[in-house]
Amino acid sequence: MAVLLIAEHNNKELRPFTLNAATAASQIDSDVHAVIIGQNSADAAKQLSELPVVKKVLSVEGAHYENFTAENFAPVIVKLAENYSHIVCSANTFGKNLMPRIAAHLDTSQVSDIIKVISTDTFLRPIYAGNAFATIKSNDAKKCVTIRPTSFDPCESTGGSAPIEKVDASEEFSNTKFIKREEIKSDRPELGTARIVVSGGRGMQSGDNFKLITEIADKLGAAIGASRAAVDAGYISNDHQVGQTGKVVVPDLYIAVGISGAIQHLAGMKESKVIVAINKDGEAPIFSVADYGLEADLFEALPQFMEELNKLNTIQK
């Protein structure tokens, strides 16, 4: 039986992590079908049909799907699940909210947030905030799997031409009403997908001092992150938080400034390709994961860092 991928989108276009989830789905079985549920989402459905790994697109349209409410999405997918061995989507807030509702209806024990497909029934997933990895075999007939998007490369986005099939909508769930969504807009790259992340911790000492980080982030075309300590201290808003309870990031370069490296912070960034730590405490745990550690006062180091960057002829973007 084929694998059913649940597409995440905003009714106009696919959200980027759909491509990562498609890669994971295709590693479970090459026969991947994708369901897209929304309102006026034809353009996104077409985009989905162009992913070469997707063999068929199922499109479900209805006004009550406009805001992606799990209570409305789950019944449609549960019905479609009859024809599939696996249901797959991203383990971001969209998938985390939705998939367990599907799994419970199917009486399946979900496998959450996998980082590797070992076989069609066996997966690797982090537990204890990434401090241990568990190899899990699912014995359920139907498997519900959410994937950690940053652990799978995005699939090719063009070249495919899967057929798009319409599927009937299910009834509206009337006890949940969408009111509003406040999206955080920024000219900077998104934290979850940025190539470079510059993060500040409690060592920044104030929100004002984050401008030292902002300056460097702008120069590097980087996203701005923060430790939970910096967020709790009110230096920066919580959508910047990297860690177990914030975002998990896997950039090419992660620069941790004034961050001691608490367990929950490391869980969110230690898979980054290159890690830099700038901290005046040479014993800080952050240095144990850093490729390049600089033991220095950040208030001296950051302006120098900016100067050095200004000296460079070119900076990769």
Partner 1 sequence: MKILVAVKRVIDYNVQIRVKEDGTGVVTDNVKMSTNPPDDNAIEEAVKIKEAGKATEVVAVTVGEEKAQETVRKALAVGADRGIHVKVDGILEPLAVSKILQKIVDKEKPDLVFMGKQAIDDDCNQTGQMLSALLNWPQATFASKIDVKDNKLEVTREIDEGLETIEINVPAIVTCDLRLNEPRYASLPNIMKAKKKPIEEIAASDLGVDVSPRLEQLKVEEPPKRKAGIKVANVAELVQKLKNEAKVI
Residues numbered 57 to 96 that lie near partner 1 (CB under 8 A) are: 69-71, 74, 91-94, 96
Check: CB of residue 201 under 8 Å from CB of residue 182.
no
> Which among 108, 151, 117, 150 has a CA at the least distance from the CA of 136?
117
What's the CA gap between 132 and 115, in Å, rounded? 12
Tell which one of 1, 12, 43, 137 touches partner 1 (CB under 8 A). 137
Decide whether 27 or 108 has the Cβ nearer to partner 1: 108
Cβ-Cβ contacts under 8 Å for 207 (sequence gap 6 or more): 234, 235, 236
CA–CA distance, 44 with 36 (Å, rounded to integer): 8
**Residue showing tokens 């009111």:** 179
Pick 137 or 166: Cβ nearer partner 1: 137
CB of 159 to partner 1, least distance (A): 28
Which residues ranging from 148 to 207 are in contact with partner 1 (CB under 8 A)?
173, 175-184, 192, 196
| Member of 103, 117, 229, 250 binding partner 1 (CB under 8 A) | 103
**What is the smallest separation between the CB atom of 161 and partner 1, expressed in angstroms?**
30
Neighbours of 302 (CB within 10 A): 24
Contact by Cβ (8 Å): 2, 53 = no
Q: Which stretch binds partner 1 (CB under 8 A): 24-32, 51-59, 111-119, 202-210?
A: 111-119
Separation of alpha carbons 294 and 299, rounded Å: 13
Least distance to partner 1, CB of residue 184, Å? 4
Position 297 contacts partner 1 (CB under 8 A): no
For residue 283, the minimal CB distance to partner 1 (Å) is 12
Q: Report the site for partner 1 in 263-282 (rule: CB under 8 A).
A: 263-264, 270, 273-276, 282
**Candidate residues 26, 27, 59, 112; the one interacting with partner 1 per rule CB under 8 A:** 112
As a whole number of angstroms, the distance between CA 165 and CA 119 comes to: 29
